[in-house]
Each structure stands twice: as structure tokens, then as C-alpha cells.
Structure 1
């Protein structure tokens, strides 16, 4: 008789997989992907290292899934800000402020998502999520052009430039070589980033 996996066994496997993902996420939030060693993850998850490879074909596959999970949370927060009330310019400014503010409040995770050297499979996910941000911004820029908030422009190109500008402007402050910024007043930095981005879109000083 062929072996049949019971529902209880499937639930146990699902819980073990979830715990591995959560522990990996915790390691990345504390010290980046470089600190997420398989032996450490296994210890936190209270499983053998071989168990991790029964759920994920490779370390890169595990990291890619954790990257997806972490970045989707940030994309969702930006989407929420873009769905608030106000004209397109106000909503876009709120979304950019959300992006930059959350990054500076969680600098280690933000550095890991934006700039930390990673494996090719994780880098593919990074590029995919940059496109996701750009898509959200593009839609709002198009709405702003229709509303008259923004001058006529190539919304797709502008959104790509916007993602690049805000991400690059955060790399230095988020660098692990910089002092811990979690308890600093980041408002002036965030204001400067927003001012630059909005001036680029509107062509006027703010």
C-alpha cells in the first residue's frame, strides 16, 4: 500500500516550514541576510539543518521567499498610503513618506531589502519588487496628470526614476557602517527626500 500523508502530518510540516521562515525573517531583521546562517536558523527553529532542506531546495530559495514576504509588507504599506484621500500629489507624497520613514525606522531590514549584496535569485526578487513599486507610482502619476497635479510627462519613466531616487537616497543612511538610526529624528532627511522627488515630478520648488 502506498504511503499516504495524514492531515496531521501535513499540518506539522506546514507549521515547521512557517517557523523556519519566521526565524529566517528574524535573523535578517537583526543582521541582514549575511547573518542568516542555516545552522543559526535551524537552532532558532528547533529543527535539524536537513529539515530546512526538505522544505527548501537551497538556501537561496529560502532567502528568496523571505525577501518576498518582507518586501510585500512594504509594498502593501505604500499601496495603503496611495489609497487614502486627497489629490494624487498628496497621496504620492504620503506614500513616499511611508516608504522612507519605515525604512529609517527599521534600517537593518531596509538595507537588506534595498542594497545588501545578495544571491542572484534574491536579486531577481529585488528587481521584481522595484517594478511593483514603480507600477503603483505610475498609476498615481497618471492620475495626477489627469487631475492637473503633475505636468504632462512619461509616467512610466517618471515612476522608474522615482523608485531609483528614493532607494538610492536611502542607501547611505541605511548603510550598516552608519550609526544606528532607529532612535534618531529622521524627519529632516525624509523631508529632503520627499522635496527632491516631488520637485522632480512637478518641476516646481516645494
Structure 2
């Protein structure tokens, strides 16, 4: 008689897989991908290391899944910020502030997603992540051109420039080598976000935000 997996067993597998995902992200959020060791993840999730490899082909595939899920949350937040009322410039400013502000509030998580050296499998997800942002910005820029609040330009190129500018400007502040103090952190972050947004909007429109 052929073996048939029961619904209860499928549920247990799904729960174990979710625990592995949650615990891996917990490790990444604390110390980046380099701190997410399989033995530690297995211990936190309460499973054997072999169980992890039954759910994920390799450590790199597990990390790629984590990266995909985490970045989708960030892209969704930027899309939400672009959905506010107002003209395209105002909506783009809202989205840029969301991007930079969330990164600076969770520097280790943002470092892992934006700049931490990763395996090629995860780097592919990072490229998809950047493209997802560029796609959102491109639509908003095209809408702004139609509205007349953004000058005629190559919207695709401009959108990729926005993603590059904001990501590159955050690398230094997010780096784990940076010494961070709670004192005045919010003020410094707000000043940095303002500067990033000003640069990006000025590049798009030729005027300061």
C-alpha cells in the first residue's frame, strides 16, 4: 500500500518550515546573514539540522527565501507610501522617506538587504528587489510627467538612478562598523533622510523639495 501523507503531518511540516523561516530572519535581523548559522537556526527552531535541508535545498536557498520575503515587505511599504493623495512628486517624496526611514530604524536588517556581501543565489534576489523599487518609481515618474510636475525625461533610467542614489547613500550609515549612540540618533537620521529626499527630488524636477 502506497504511503499517504496525512493532513496532520502536512500541517506539522508547514509549521516546522515557518519556524525555520522565522528563526532565520531573527538571526539575520540581529547580525546579518553571516550570523545565521544552520546549527543556530536549528536550535532556535527546535528542529534537527537535517530537517532544515529537507525543507530547503541548501543554506543559500534558505537565505534566498528569507531575502525574498523580507524585501517584499519593504517593497509593499514603499508601494503603500506611493498610494497617498497628492501629485507624483509628493508621492515620490513619501516613498523615498519611507524607504530611508525604515532602513535607518532597522540598520542591521537594512544592511543585510541592501549591502551585506551574500552568495550569488541571494544576490539574484537583491537584483530583483532593486528592480521592484525601480518599477514602482518608474510608474510614479511617468505619472508626474503626464501631470506636468516632473519634466520630460527617461523614466526608466531616472527610476534606477533613484534606487542607486538612495541605496548608496545609506551604505555608510547602515554599516555594522558604524558606532551608534542612542543620543541624538533620531535627529541625525531625520537630517540624513531630508538630505537624501532633497537630492532625489531635485534630480528629478530640477527644484528642491
TM-score range, shorter chain: over 0.9
Q: What's 1:24 paired with? A: 24
Task: Quote the residue 1:192 is aligned against.
Answer: 195
- Counterparts of 1:182 and 1:133, CA distance in 2: 30
Q: 2:62 aligned with 1:62, yes or no?
A: yes
Q: Secondary structure at the match of 1:85?
A: coil
Q: CA offsets per residue over residues 126-172 of structure 1, 9 Å max, x none?
A: 00110000000000000000111110000000000000000000000
> TM-score when scaled to structure 1?
0.98
Specify which of 174, 199, 202 is matched with residue 205 of structure 2.
Answer: 202
| Aligned twin of 1:178 | 178
Distance 1:26 1:127 in 2: 23
Unmatched 5+ residue regions in structure 1? Answer: none
Structure 2: how far apart are the matches of 1:148 and 1:88? 9
Q: CA deviation at 1:204?
A: 1.9
1:181 offset after TM fit, Å?
A: 6.4
Aligned residues between the structures: 206
Per the normalisation by structure 2, the TM-score is 0.97
Matches within 5 A, 1:47-196: 47-180=47-180, 184-185=185-186, 186-196=189-199
- Using a 3 Å threshold, how does the CA distance of structure 1 residues 91 and 18 change in structure 2: closer, same or farther? same
Match of 1:9 in 2: 9
Long gaps (5+) in structure 2: none
Q: Secondary structure at the match of 1:178?
A: coil
Q: Give the aligned CA root-mean-square deviation in angstroms.
A: 1.0
